[in-house]
């Protein structure tokens, strides 16, 4: 008990003798972090105004902010009289890097993957991507992960290493995305006339591209019950930025083509089972 009291008294006396230094160190630490954050934000704004790639700007500013804060921590340790510890830490950086790198391999891997993704730029903010079955719009990329918002509102944080290692589908990089579906008409129908009606109908749907990206409608296959026709059309993803808009356009096209076929006397057959009863025996 007396030893604890003596230690407490020594700490109080030491603080009274050096409280000005402690106040300065605290002010330096807090001020250093505030200045680092300010510089990080200014770099982000500067890069955003100069570069169209906001993901690279965000990642670069985060990296600069992290480096500045690490420098503030090392200087603070030196001011606290922990310079010998700091020197040992720096001297053992090689061993520390090996140990930490092995123990935190995934974190280091995600960090390096984040650097590659930020400067390779396989996608931009709000691009519609698919990775490992996850479909959504890119909202942010950080040192460790990429934030993707799915069409149903879920926020998915995908580790950067997963994006780098797996096939990445970017549906909006060049501004064009094609949709397709099939439908059947009866064998008694004229497929050429049906295709002409469908082309006219699809071209009238708002949001469907014309010109070089005009709809394409072909006979896909012959089944046991109908002639299958494939309908293909393009959407400008720079204008229709949300997946919900894509779904609305696709739904409108499907609804209009069926209505047009029926209105022009075409039969749109459905699968059915024919049951014959002969002499009371079901076949």
**Mean pLDDT along residues 234-255:** 88
Residues 182 and 247 in one domain: yes
> Of 72, 81, 67, 107, nearest to 22 (Cα)?
81
Cα(238)–Cα(124) distance, integer angstroms: 12
185 shares a domain with 162: no
CA–CA separation, 226 vs 211, rounded Å?
31
Is 112 among the domain residues? Answer: no
Residue 47's pLDDT is what?
72
How far apart CA 36 and CA 61 sit, in angstroms, is 10
Mean pLDDT over 96-118 rounds to 66
Residue-level pLDDT at 95: 53
Q: How far is CA 254 from CA 198, 203, 204, in A?
A: 10, 12, 12
Confidence of residue 52 (pLDDT cuts 50, 70, 90): low
pLDDT surpassing 70 at residue 7: no
Helix (H, G, I), strand (E, B) or coil at 23: helix
Task: Out of 113, 139, 170, pick the residue that ends a domain.
Answer: 170
Residues 165, 207 within the same domain: no
SS3 190: coil
| pTM beyond cutoff 0.85 | no
Establish if 199 belongs to a structural domain: yes
For 112, the token pair is: 């390096």
CATH number at residue 198: 3.30.70.100
The whole-angstrom distance between residue 195's C-alpha and the CA centroid of its chain comes to: 38
Domain-located, residue 271: no
Q: How confident is the model at residue 228 (pLDDT cuts 50, 70, 90)?
A: very high
CATH of the domain at 137: 2.30.30.60
Examine residue 160 and state whether it is found in any structural domain, yes or no: yes
Q: Is residue 276 part of a domain?
A: no
Structure tokens at 135: 């479909």
Q: 111 in a domain, yes or no?
A: no
CA distances in angstroms from 31 to 20, 34, 73, 112, 240, listed in the order given? 16, 5, 12, 30, 45
Number of domains present in the structure of the chain? 3
Give the residue from 63, 142, 143 showing the smallest Cα distance to 111: 143
- Local structure of residue 209 (DSSP, 8 states): -
Query: Quick check: 202 pLDDT over 60?
Result: yes
281 found inside a domain:
no
Same domain, 165 and 210: no
Mean pLDDT taken over the chain: 80
What is the structure's pLDDT at 67? Answer: 82
179, β-bridge pairs: 233
Residue 131's domain spans which residues?
123-170
Residue 274 lies in a domain: no
Over 70: is that where the pLDDT of 189 sits?
yes
58 and 6 belong to one structural domain:
yes
pLDDT tens track for 123-166: 888 888 999 999 998 988 877 889 999 988 899 999 988 988 89
183 and 255 assigned to the same domain: yes
Residue 223: count of CB within 10 angstroms of its CB: 12
For helices 54-79 and 2-50, angle between their N-to-C axes, nearest 10 degrees: 150
């Amino acid at each position: 008990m007396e030893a604890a009291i003596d230690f407490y008294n020594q700490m109080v006396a030491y603080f009274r003798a050096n409280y000005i230094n402690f106040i300065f160190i605290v002010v330096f630490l807090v001020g250093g972090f505030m200045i680092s954050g300010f510089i990080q934000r200014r770099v982000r704004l500067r890069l955003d105004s100069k570069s169209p790639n906001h993901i690279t700007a965000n990642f670069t500013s985060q990296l600069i902010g992290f480096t500045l804060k690490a420098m503030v921590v090392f200087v603070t340790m030196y001011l606290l009289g922990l310079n010998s510890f700091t020197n040992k830490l720096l001297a053992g950086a090689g061993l520390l890097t090996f140990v930490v790198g092995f123990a935190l391999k995934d974190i280091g891997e995600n960090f390096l993957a984040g650097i590659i993704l930020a400067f390779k730029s396989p996608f931009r903010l709000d691009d519609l991507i698919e990775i490992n079955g996850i479909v959504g719009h890119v909202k942010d990329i950080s040192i460790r992960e990429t934030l993707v918002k799915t069409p149903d509102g879920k926020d998915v944080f995908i580790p950067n290493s997963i994006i780098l290692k797996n096939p990445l589908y970017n549906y909006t990089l060049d501004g064009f995305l094609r949709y397709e579906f099939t439908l059947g008409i009866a064998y008694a129908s004229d497929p050429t006339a049906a295709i002409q009606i469908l082309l006219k109908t699809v071209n009238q749907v708002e949001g469907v591209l014309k010109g070089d990206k005009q709809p394409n409608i072909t006979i896909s296959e012959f089944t046991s019950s109908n002639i299958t026709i494939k309908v293909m059309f393009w959407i400008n993803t720079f204008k229709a930025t949300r997946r919900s808009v894509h779904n609305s356009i696709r739904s409108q096209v499907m609804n209009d083509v069926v209505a047009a076929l029926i209105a022009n006397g075409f039969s749109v057959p459905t699968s059915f089972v024919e049951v014959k009863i002969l002499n009371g025996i079901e076949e």
